[in-house]
Structure 1
């Protein structure tokens, strides 16, 4: 019994964690969940930014909404990637469970050396490594 309790605790923690998804294994977010058509299309001077949501159970019951400059851009499911095109300048990216508050905002100055981000735990936007 003494060994079973820690094993159950570790299993529960592992079930709640999320894992990064390589871009090559992520599926594209369907167009019906992309709400800002201007961000979804390339244009002169725009830089492509890719956001990939982690796999895992934590937060998987809800889509994660991605916001660009406070505007709802897309609802992303686990293991999905959404590509947005940003014009030069400073932009604010944020994400959070649909209909709830977002995690910390991430300022992005385009052009940017970082072009790929990941959504961890359905809430946090982190530069992809």
Structure 2
């Protein structure tokens, strides 16, 4: 009986101690849930924002909701990506997890310029805290 408890504890620690890992944009799958469909089409005077979520065991069973200026933008599962086109300006890009993955929320300033492209990475650390920020990958 004691060995089963130790095995269960070890498995729990192993699963929760792993931070997520970046995924290349070209290997990520298209997001299944995007709320602001009007931003999926490129228009004049816009910039491109690519938002992707890491892969890994941390938070693998949970969806992360992405926000643009506090408005729901999309839901990302691990390894998913989506691209939006927004008018030039300053925005607050947010990410939030809930339920079993209650890692809270995170926000990052996003400055968009016309015809510029930026990629943002959503990750979960060892403590299940969500993070969002610009990435070169």
- Root-mean-square deviation (CA, aligned residues, Å) is 2.5
- The 8 Å contact of residues 25 and 52 in structure 2, kept in 1 or not, is answered as yes
Task: Give the unaligned 5+ runs of structure 2.
Answer: 1-9
Q: Is 1:120 the equivalent of 2:126?
A: no
TM, length-normalised to structure 2 = 0.75
- The 8 Å contact of residues 15 and 56 in structure 1, kept in 2 or not, is answered as no
TM, length-normalised to structure 1 = 0.79
Deviation at 1:46, TM superposition (A): 1.1
Q: Distance in 1 between matches of 2:83 and 2:98?
A: 18
- The 8 Å contact of residues 75 and 98 in structure 1, kept in 2 or not, is answered as no
The number of equivalent residue pairs is 118
Task: Give the unaligned 5+ runs of structure 1.
Answer: 1-7
Q: Is 1:43 the equivalent of 2:43?
A: yes
> Corresponding residue for 1:27?
29
> Corresponding residue for 2:6?
none
- Counterpart of 1:102 (choices 84, 100, 105) is 105
SS in 2 for 1:38: helix
Q: Distance in 2 between matches of 1:57 and 1:13?
A: 6
- The 8 Å contact of residues 39 and 73 in structure 1, kept in 2 or not, is answered as no
- The 8 Å contact of residues 69 and 93 in structure 2, kept in 1 or not, is answered as yes
- Counterpart of 1:17 (choices 10, 16, 19) is 19
SS in 2 for 1:18: coil
Q: Distance in 2 between matches of 1:108 and 1:126?
A: 9
Distance 1:72 1:51, change over 3 A: same
